[in-house]
Every structure is written in C-alpha cells, then in structure tokens.
Structure 1
Amino acid sequence: MKKIAVVYWSGTGNTEKMAEAVFKGAESAGAEASLFNVNDFSADMADNFDVIAFGCPSMGAEVLEEAEFEPVYSACRDKLTGKTVGIFGSYGWGDGEWMRNWEEDVLQAGASVPHGYLIINETPDDAGLETCKNYGINLVK
C-alpha cells in the first residue's frame, strides 16, 4: 500500500478544498493517505511517504507563498529524489507561470511528476473538485 502525504498552504481556502479532494481521491484508491497543513509537516517526515502532493496557490508575481510554504518545500526538496510528486494550487491571475516554474524545480530535484500539475482558477467548483479527486487517485496508481 502506497503512503501519500498531501501537504498544502491556503490563504483563501481554495487550495485547501483542492487538497481535501486530492486526499479523498488518494484514500479512495487504497493509499494510506495523510493530509497536512504545511505548518504540520517537515522535511524529516518526507522519508515516511512514497508520494507527496504539494499544494500552494499563486502569490504575488506568480510565486509560491514565501513565509510558510516555500521554506518547508525547500527543506523537503533534497528528499524528493526518486519520489513521485504531485503539485497543485489555485490562482486568480496570470497564466500558471508559478506552477510551470515549480514543476521544473521538482523535476530538477530528481522527482517524478507523472501526472503533471493541476491548477484551478479561483474556487474549485464540483467539476474542479472531481478533477482534484481524480488527480489523487492517479498519484497512487
């Protein structure tokens, strides 16, 4: 049974909703899934999981949230080599540049991102939440 951590930061609740749906999808696919606010996760925990799904919205000039999320992600980066990773988040402007840059960084860390990234504009609707759930299912297949 694969162990997956879904680790997120959310300012408005949109990425939190996405994270909950990714978590439910992974759980429904038979994974041992854990959902963490980024403040409850550390690099020391990364080795305990086969798959890590990181969720962070676009901030400022299309960057990761810098005060809470980015330091935890950066600390985990060296532990991603050989792992399956998912990345997701919501955005309100721009074209997803922050996610493309983030995906490139994850790949450079030596991780596999077999299902690409998932972005949703603003609040996920029912179809968006279903997409998030399927993303979680696919991460553990």
Structure 2
Amino acid sequence: MVKVIVIFASMTGNTEEMADYIADGVREAGAELTLKSVMDVNASVMENYDGIALGAYTWGDGDLPDEFLDFYEEMDEVDLTGKQAVAFGSCDSSYSEYGAAVDLLERKLEELGAVIALPGMKVELGPSAQEKEQLKQFGITFVNHLRVLKEATAGGTIV
C-alpha cells in the first residue's frame, strides 16, 4: 500500500482546509494517510513515506511562516532521495511574491533529493468550491502517480 504524509502550517485555517481536501483525495485513492500540523512532527518522519505533501501559507513578502521554520531547518538532516513530493499553500495576491512559500518548499524538497511529482497547488486565500474539488483531485492524482511508480519498480521496470 502507498503511504502518504501531508504536513501543513496554517494560521487562518485556509492551508489546513487545503490539506484536508488533499487528504480526502489521498484516502479516496486508497493510500495510507498521515495528516499532521508542522508543529506536531519532526522532519525525519518524511523518510518513512512514499509520498510527501508539504503545505504552507506565504508570510509577508515571500517567507515561510514562523511555525514552519524549525521543520524547514530539520529538513537539512533528511535524505529524500527518490521520494515523490508535492507542495501546496494558501496565497494572497496583494503581496509582491505570490505563493512563494510553495516555491521555497519545492526547492528544498528537490535539494534533498525528492522528485516534485505535480506542480505546486496555490489557492488565493481560502479554496472556492471548485478549488476544493481540484485539491481533492490533486490528492487522488498524487496517489495514482505513486502507485504507478511503485508497481513499475516492483516489476523490475526502471522508471
């Protein structure tokens, strides 16, 4: 069974809501899911999963939120070589850097050897009804991607 962890930081609840809809998609696709606030987990746990989804809102002019900083530093001690990952977050177009936290997370994941499986999911403030469905589909698509890779690797096919 494919194992996915979704880790998020949320101040107003927007990114948490995004995480919940992605988690719904992950569950619907039949994967084993762990859903955690970034404040309740250590970065080393990511090594135990096939798929990693990190979510953060963008703070100020393009920064990660304070509650994500310790986790982000802990990430430097983690080897994610070959892990599949995605990033998502709530954004605010009134700032000069739209959704920069999502971009920062993707770059960090790649630095640690992870493969970005899908383009980052950015939502303006809270998700609309249509975006909620897109977030759920994002989770489903991520799991389906992981499953195809896992089956190909198990069958001896080089991906």
**TM-score between the two structures when normalised by the length of structure 2:** 0.81
Structure 2 match to 1:134: 137
Distance in 2, Cα, partners of 1:57 & 1:123: 11
Contact 2:89-2:101 at 8 Å conserved across structures: no
Hey, what does 2:26 align to over in structure 1? 26
Q: Do the aligned partners of 1:43 and 1:79 also contact (CA within 8 Å) in 2?
A: no
- Residues 8 and 15 in structure 2, CA contact (< 8 A), matched pair in contact too: yes
CA distance in 2 between partners of 1:134 and 1:74 (Å): 30
User: Partner residue of 2:148?
Assistant: none
Task: Look up the match of 1:104.
Answer: 107
Identity of aligned residues (%): 34
Q: Contact between 2:7 and 2:35, CA under 8 Å: does it hold in 1?
A: yes
**Distance change >3 Å, CA 97–CA 48, structure 1 → 2:** closer
> Counterpart of 2:122?
119
**Which residue number corresponds to residue 55 of structure 1?**
55
Within a 5 Å distance, the mapping from 1:2-41 to structure 2 comes to 2-41=2-41
In structure 2, relative to structure 1, the CA distance for the partners of 1:69 and 1:125 (3 Å cut) is same
Q: Shift in Å at residue 130 of structure 1? A: 0.8
d(CA) in 1 for partners of 2:106, 2:47: 20
Q: Larger radius of gyration, structure 1 or 2? A: 2
CA distance in 1 between counterparts of 2:43 and 2:104 reads: 21
Distance 1:40 1:58 in 2: 20
Q: Distance in 2 between matches of 1:99 and 1:20?
A: 17
Q: CA RMSD in A?
A: 1.5
- Shift of the 98–43 alpha-carbon distance from structure 1 to 2, 3 Å rule, reads closer
Q: What is the distance in 1 between the residues matched to 2:31 and 2:83? A: 15
**1:79-103 CA distance string (max 9 Å, x none):** 3221111100001134333433432
Classify the secondary structure of the residue corresponding to 1:120. strand
| Cα distance in 1 between the residues matched to 2:110 and 2:87 | 11
Which structure shows the higher helix fraction?
2
List structure 1 runs of 4+ shifted beyond 4 angstroms.
none
* Secondary structure, aligned partner of 1:47: helix
Report deviation, 1:55. 0.5
Matches of 1:42 and 1:102, distance apart in 2? 16
Alignment of 1:58-73 (within 5 A): 58-66=58-66, 68-73=67-72
Structure 2: gaps of 5 or more residues: 145-159
Structure 1: which amino acid aligns with 2:80? L
Question: Secondary structure in 1 aligned to 2:48?
Answer: coil
Report the Cα distance in structure 1 between the residues aligned to 2:62 and 2:106, rounded to whole angstroms: 13
With normalisation by structure 1, the TM-score equals: 0.91
- In structure 1, list runs of 5 or more residues that go unmatched: none
